[in-house]
Amino acid sequence: MLSDRYGLPLSSTQPRARDAYVAGCDRRLEGTAGVRLHLKKAVFALLALWMAAGAMMAQAEERFSFEATPGKLPKDVVPVHYALRVVPNAAWERFDGRVEIDVRVMRTVDVITLNAANLEIRRAQLQSGSVVTTLTSSLDAARETATLAPAQGPIAPGSYRLAIDYSGRITPHSQGLFRVPYKVSHQGRVVDKAMLATHFEPVHARKLFPGWDEPVFRATFEMSAEVDEPLTVVSNMPVARVTPRPGGRKEVSFARSVPMPTYLVALFIGELDALQDELDGIPLAIYTVRGKTAHARFAMQATKDILRHFNDYFGERYLLPKLDQVALPGGFGGAMENWGAILYNESVLLVDPRAASLRQQQRVFGIVAHEIAHQWFGNLVTMAWWDNLWLNEGFATWMATRTAERLHPQWRSRLRAALTAEEAMAEDARRTTHPVQTPVRDDARAFDLFDSITYAKGEAFLHMLEEYLGEAAFREGVRRYLRAHRLSNATTADLWHHLSDASGRDVRAFAAPWVEQPGFPLLAVSERCDADAGEVRLEQRRFTFNDPMARPLTWPVPVTLITGGGERRSVLLGDTVTDLRFDDCRGVRIASGGYYRVRYDGAAAPGLARDFSRLEAGERRRRLADTFALVQAGEADLRDYLVLLDALGTEQDRFTLMQALEALSFLRRLADAPGERKAFDRRVVRLLRAPFDRVGWTAQAGEDLEWPALRATLIRALGLAGDTAVIGKARALFAAHPARPIDPAIRGAVLDVVGRHAAAATYERLLALLREATAVEQRWEFQSALRSVADPALRERWWSLLLGDELPPGEAIYNLRHAGASSDRPEAAWQFLKANLARVYAKASLRGRAYVLPEASVSFSDAAAADELLQLTRQHLDSGAYYQAEKAADAIRLAAAVKARQKRALIAWTRARSAQ
């Protein structure tokens, strides 16, 4: 996630994706205006297809049917079982493979078509009984398929064994089988090491083996790998046998798996240690590189707590004979739910017990809960096709939050989830949004769906649906869904069916508008007093940013209203106006928590502004978010929002302040001139000084659990805004480090402040610390500090270093994409990227190129920057990259529109306040 001027997520103004991929090639067009028009037409034609297909889906989606499931591959040949053998070469640059696939030919075919990408097929044979037929192979690189044809005659229906010998590349990117370089400390020296890992979702299994790489084609797997004797090998199932091989080698073979889709297959090879445990007879292991198993103890306890909870909640015991989790020391930035062998970057799984922070523990718990939830939602039952990705990701996200609420209620996880829902709502209000359940015509389009709408909107809707149906009915519906589709596939229609059956309600009628339509509602609340009674009117319409042509839509919205006297009343708002009467005229408000915006009119508005500081924390945060969204949409004046900001002097709630800082990071983009930005920064310091003085630099006895994270947030924000006291203290802490280690809870923030204001000596020390670091978390912190450097000569040195080979390509590209926002020099970084675009694209993965310029442009607020982004995208990349570019361009145009309306009020506010 990108960090802005104040070190906060800019998720509301940037394109988001779980993984950065999209293919690219060079093209040229003449003229910025022509490019913009051409690209806009192409992108909005695509969006129109999505919307039209969404309307068709709302009418036509049926319960799961294998034959009716979309996909590239024909369904006349079906895999039943794979026996896969992989042999990496000594240099770990290539591998040899052999796969034997038991298939059923359902009807007579002339050829067999399956997926293969970046593979060289040496031999393919089809065997039926004692008859062996050699097949000729032809590869389609664009479609990532292989066609296998016999020399004579068609292939008759029946059971066969398809054997393929082939070779492929081990890549530096987390796609297929990839190499993970890392460093260890050995006898006072930093030593370079490497391991191998796989990551296949959504379409990368075809880079390790030819097969049916679509989620509907479930099959069993037997994996084996030949490696050097000292190495450890991990896969989905337990080790079945180890066979010695000549030359100090061994072959490790694994037991046969249950039927599963190809994207869940996993293989890890390296010098690994394991922390082992068990829960109710289920063996558990967390694999780390040598010497780090002590850091896995928190994750192991979390795993046991979570697994016990899920076994009970789902009414279905975890299915596989073991559950392994593997911590990668780099090369991959998140986590992946491989069945029985879950993949993590070590920074989101390992916690140093000597330097643990609560925020680290919360992050690890949440991600482990998300990935283990997938062992049921996604693995035990798999979405039929990528248009139902949200069944996997939305549910796992919701389940992780729900589990944290149950097992650690003091963490207030629902408030944290509300912040991520804001990210989704910011995307969902724009022209480039898409429905939660989005048709996918081509599996390459699945990459675009790993975003906040699929994850966070999916979670927010499921939370609302559970409250609407009731916890018991919802849980029973989920259990029925899992039992009915166990070891098979499902669609959203299947989930609605089982929830309806369990609850006795028409769930599809309630749910379809939320998952099959784009966007969300604005609820308008107006009130007038009639004697001592309050007459309240409630109505809805679609809420959008900068999109006057948006299609009018409505939703069934469960709403709870609260009067000033505490009376609560719940209604289901439809597409007509709802009028209510209360015996209280002291103001009415809507309880926070729904996936909608709220605007108060009439008598309801002044009281809420006046009583803002007396609202509960969740409602204060929501009031800030709704008011600022209305400002962005042109439905409120910025001064309405600034009044609320001025009331934050006594604020102590982290979530409320995070919401304010998110808005401030957007507003700072509207200040163009250096003098305007300096005045803005002075105002930010004045605004945040009082909250920071309360939390201070060090932990206080009995302090709020969120204060350590709030402390780091405020240190970063104040230091990047130029607060001299914070800068001085940060420099002092850095000078004393590591003899007196910086508190891990604030270390990243301190390093960012030090980096931003670094001179040459500090830069050199940060670079030396990066080169010596062996923990991924600290490597990321030092990279963030170096990325924050503002000094022109030093930042150019850092950017030039990123073009070389010192950092792994994924880390280098991430730093280059975020160079401008982190250093507060977006124009300079943009020019650097343009001047070196060929080298940058050569370093990025084919899929990752689509994200380089969009994420580098997020700090701009002029329409010309949006035009240039589209021009460069069209010039250098193919149509697969257009959607990400248009999303970023639309965000830039939104900022430009807000600037045109509100800049004068913003500058007047910053100058007036900073002069005090």
Report, as residue numbers or ranges, the catalytic residues.
371
Tokens of 341: 């062998």
Measured distance CA(584)–CA(534) in Å, rounded: 6
Assess contact for 284 and 303: CB atoms under 8 A.
Answer: yes
- Give the strand pairing for 341-345 and 323-328: parallel
Instruction: Check if the beta carbon of residue 753 is closer than 8 Å to that of residue 692.
Output: no
Buried b (16+ CB within 10 A) or exposed e, 120-151: ebeebbbeeeeeebebebebeeebbbbbbbbe
Strands 77-88 and 220-228, by their bridges, are: parallel
In whole angstroms, what separates CA 867 from the centre of its chain? 27
In 3D, which of 203, 205, 202, 201 has the Cα closest to residue 177?
A: 205
Q: How far apart are CA 65 and CA 687, in angstroms?
A: 58
Contact 89, 95 (CB under 8 A): yes
State whether residue 110 is helix, strand or coil: coil
Tell me how crowded residue 410 is: count the other CB atoms within 10 A of its CB: 9
Residue 617 CB neighbours (<10 A): 17
Question: How far apart are alpha carbons 358 and 349 in whole angstroms?
Answer: 14
- Per DSSP, 129 falls in state T
* Residue 888 C-beta-side C-alpha neighbours within 13 Å: 31
Question: What is the number of residues in the chain?
Answer: 916
Task: Give the burial class of 680: count Cβ atoms within 10 A of its Cβ; 0-12 exposed, 13-18 middle, 19 or more buried.
Answer: buried
Task: Provide φ and ψ at 618, rounded to 5°.
Answer: -60, -35
Q: Beta-carbon neighbour count of residue 858 at 10 Å?
A: 24
Distance CA 871, CA 32 (A): 6
d(CA 526, CA 289): 60
- Hey, is 549 helix, strand or coil? coil
| Tokens standing for residue 326 | 């593997």
Helix 654-668 and helix 707-720, axial crossing angle in degrees, nearest 10: 20
* Mode of pairing for the β-strands spanning 282-289 and 267-270: unpaired
Question: How large is the angle between the packed helices 32-60 and 863-876, nearest 10 degrees?
Answer: 80
Instruction: Please tell me whether residue 862 adopts helix, strand or coil conformation.
Output: coil
* Pair 597, 630: CB distance under 8 Å: yes
**189-199 and 588-590 strand pairing:** unpaired
Contacts of 335 (CB under 8 A, 6+ apart): 342, 343, 344, 345, 348, 349, 367, 370, 371
Q: Report the alpha-carbon angle 379-384-387, nearest 5.
A: 110
CA distance 662 to 682: 17
Which amino acid does the sequence have at 357? S
Count the Cβ atoms, other than its own, within 10 Å of residue 725. Answer: 12
Helix axes 358-373, 413-428, angle to 10 degrees: 70
Q: Which two tokens stand for residue 65?
A: 């049917």
Q: Are 320 and 226 in contact, with CB atoms under 8 Å apart?
A: no
Pairing of strands 488-490, 381-383: parallel
What is the spatial distance between Cα 883 and Cα 880, in angstroms, rounded to a whole number? 7
